[in-house]
Chain A
Amino acid sequence: MERQLEKHLEETCRVPGISGALCADNNGLCLAARGCKPELAGHVASIAQQAAQLHPNSSTTPVICIESEGGSVLIKSENDVTMAIRGNSWVALKPLCMRRLSAIKRAMGYTTHLSNSLSSLF
């Protein structure tokens, strides 16, 4: 299962403009990382949970986009997996993040279909 997950992250990082990707579980455990330090998994999971707590009654989890002059980080949590992608522009990242999170969910063994809620990413 780890091989599939790492393969998805490798494919993600091959996309031009993407400098790193990371997957973490709800407890902040790093499931896989490429171009990012595994130690960031805790912060990534934490920020996803904090953002979800802003509106706990919402049926979907939010997308968190952290932007600076040098790049952007997009974070999205779905089921028990939180994914972070770092790149140049969040506009370019958005469709990639959606596809990759779906692929990673399948690699993790989640059988849920790509729900309409993911289209709300963007």
Chain B
Amino acid sequence: MIIMANVQGVDKIQDSLGYLVLTEEGAVISSGGDLQNAEALADRLTKLVYTASRIPVSPDRRETFHKISVIWEQFMYVITVSNHRIYVCKRPYNPQDPAVA
């Protein structure tokens, strides 16, 4: 029950291919799917989150991001931070109107 409470439902996202729940330091609390036991990936994602937190997204300096998406051709990672936890969800990427050159 305690373990599932830490996941906060990220494992039940529709069309999710995998998930990670990390501490602020990048330690894996829970993982599943394609991201099961992906500790190396978790480490890189944590560094990415810290770098992204230094980029001002809006003119309000106090405001930080609420979501990061890292998008490849077929899939993407959606990352959010809440309550001292980093939540990562791997999802398929299906653009509705792909840009054509």
User: Residues of A with Cβ closer than 8 Å to B?
Assistant: 19, 40, 43-44, 46-47, 50-51, 53-55, 58, 60, 62-73, 84, 86, 94-95, 98, 102, 114-122
Contact = CB atoms under 8 A, between A and B. Distances in A.
Interface in B27-78: 41, 44-45, 47-48, 51-52, 54-60, 63-73, 76-77
Interface string B81-101: 000000000000001011111
Main secondary structure of the interface of A (DSSP, over half): mixed
Interface residues of B, number: 33
B72 A47 contact: no
A55 B72 contact: yes
A72 B57 contact: yes
A50 B48 contact: yes
B44 A66 contact: no
Contacts of A44: 55
Given A47-B52, A60-B73, A98 B99 contact: yes
Main secondary structure of the interface of B (DSSP, over half): loop
B64 to A, nearest CB: 7
Interface of B: 41, 44-45, 47-48, 51-52, 54-60, 63-73, 76-77, 95, 97-101
A18 to B, nearest CB: 13
B27 to A, nearest CB: 18
Nearest to A88: B58
Contacts of A58: 72
B55 A47 contact: yes
B44 A50 contact: yes
A74 to B, nearest CB: 10
A69 B101 contact: no
